[in-house]
């Protein structure tokens, strides 16, 4: 049964997504989209199932599951946003799916666009099957864009949860965090020539795992502890382990006489 969630916590998405969409429309954003395909393709290579869900800011514009082995792909847009590339529209805090029906959820920047990100994670946990996979893409609060939002006084100011905070929320929901990857370290200034020149900086920062990347990717798996029924209690005086030594010796002696 699909649980109904309150919708008052959803921010006005038109004003809030302007900043994020503007970042992806820049040359560094377009280059980052190409970078995202590589780790996502690797993370989803061994994931099988029937249904995969793409939701979040990039779902109406970009798909990352073109090489996925899952049979059916569903692209979910936010309520009030029309796009010919989406299959459904819904609030991310009230996903229109039954409990335990999705094998893979790929969410792009859905945590930044709600007042309470844990409600989105609760919904993802609800619709995922046991051992289902979840991939979250978000902006790092320690990046230049994150610091800009932190210092902003705009009413459409976005709150970026850190990847370490998101990992703690996932673990509290019973997820096993398989991998956390930081991506896109190159600075925001300069043109395309400067962007290509700083490839060495991207490789060096990824190797050192410095915390001020623009994006993070978290790959987690839903873990469900099976309920093992306890068997009937055995009475200790019927156990062969506690049988007196004398009875065993008598049986052995009897068997030896019968062989003679």
Residue 178 lies in a domain: yes
CATH number at residue 68: 3.40.50.150
Indicate whether 257 pLDDT > 50. Answer: no
For 106, residues 6+ apart whose C-beta sits below 8 A from its C-beta are 40, 44, 52, 53, 54, 55, 56, 64, 65, 135, 137
Q: Name the band, by pLDDT with cuts 50, 70 and 90, for residue 259.
A: very low
State residue 127's pLDDT score. 96
- Residue 33 lies in domain: 13-222
Residue 197 lies in a domain: yes
Distance from C-alpha of 51 to C-alpha of 65, rounded to nearest angstrom: 12
Residue 228 lies in a domain: no
Distance from C-alpha of 52 to C-alpha of 104, rounded to nearest angstrom: 5
pLDDT in tens, 186-205: 666 556 666 666 666 667 77
Question: In the chain, how many domains are there?
Answer: 1
Residue 7 lies in a domain: no
Indicate whether 164 pLDDT > 80. Answer: yes
pLDDT in tens, 135-162: 999 988 887 666 666 656 655 567 788 8
Residue 145 lies in a domain: yes
Residue 6 lies in a domain: no
Most confident range, picked from 17-26, 62-71, 190-199, 237-246:
62-71
State residue 221's pLDDT score. 96
pLDDT in tens, 68-120: 889 899 999 887 666 778 888 888 999 999 999 999 999 998 998 888 999 99
Residue 34 lies in a domain: yes
From residue 34, give the alpha-carbon distance in Å to each of 24, 30, 136: 11, 7, 17
Q: Write down the mean pLDDT value for the chain.
A: 77
Neighbour order of strands in the sheet with 102-108:
88-89, 72-77, 51-56, 102-108, 128-139, 215-222, 175-183
State residue 218's pLDDT score. 96
- The lowest-confidence range among 7-11, 47-51, 256-260 is 7-11
Residue 253 lies in a domain: no
- The lowest-confidence range among 171-180, 213-222, 247-256 is 247-256
């Amino acid at each position: 049964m699909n649980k109904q969630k309150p919708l008052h916590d959803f921010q006005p998405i038109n004003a809030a997504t302007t900043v994020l969409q503007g970042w992806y429309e820049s040359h560094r954003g377009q280059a980052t989209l190409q970078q995202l395909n590589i780790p996502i393709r690797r993370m989803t290579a061994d994931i099988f199932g029937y249904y995969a869900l793409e939701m979040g800011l990039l779902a109406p514009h970009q798909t990352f599951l073109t090489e996925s082995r899952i049979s059916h792909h569903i692209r979910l847009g936010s309520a009030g946003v029309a796009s010919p590339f989406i299959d459904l529209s819904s609030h991310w805090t009230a996903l229109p799916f039954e409990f335990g029906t999705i094998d893979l959820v790929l969410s792009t920047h859905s945590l930044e666009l709600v007042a309470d990100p844990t409600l989105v994670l609760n919904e993802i946990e609800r619709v995922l099957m046991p051992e289902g996979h979840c991939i979250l893409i978000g902006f790092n609060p320690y990046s230049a864009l994150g610091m800009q939002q932190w210092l902003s006084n705009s009413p459409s100011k976005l709150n970026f949860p850190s990847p370490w905070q998101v990992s703690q929320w996932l673990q509290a929901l019973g997820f096993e965090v398989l991998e956390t990857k930081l991506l896109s370290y190159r600075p925001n200034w300069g043109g395309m020539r400067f962007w290509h020149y700083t490839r060495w900086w991207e490789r060096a920062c990824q190797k050192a795992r410095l915390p001020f990347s623009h994006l993070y990717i978290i790959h987690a798996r839903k873990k469900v502890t099976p309920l093992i029924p306890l068997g009937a209690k055995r009475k200790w005086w019927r156990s062969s382990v506690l049988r007196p030594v004398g009875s065993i010796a008598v049986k052995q002696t009897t068997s030896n006489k019968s062989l003679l």
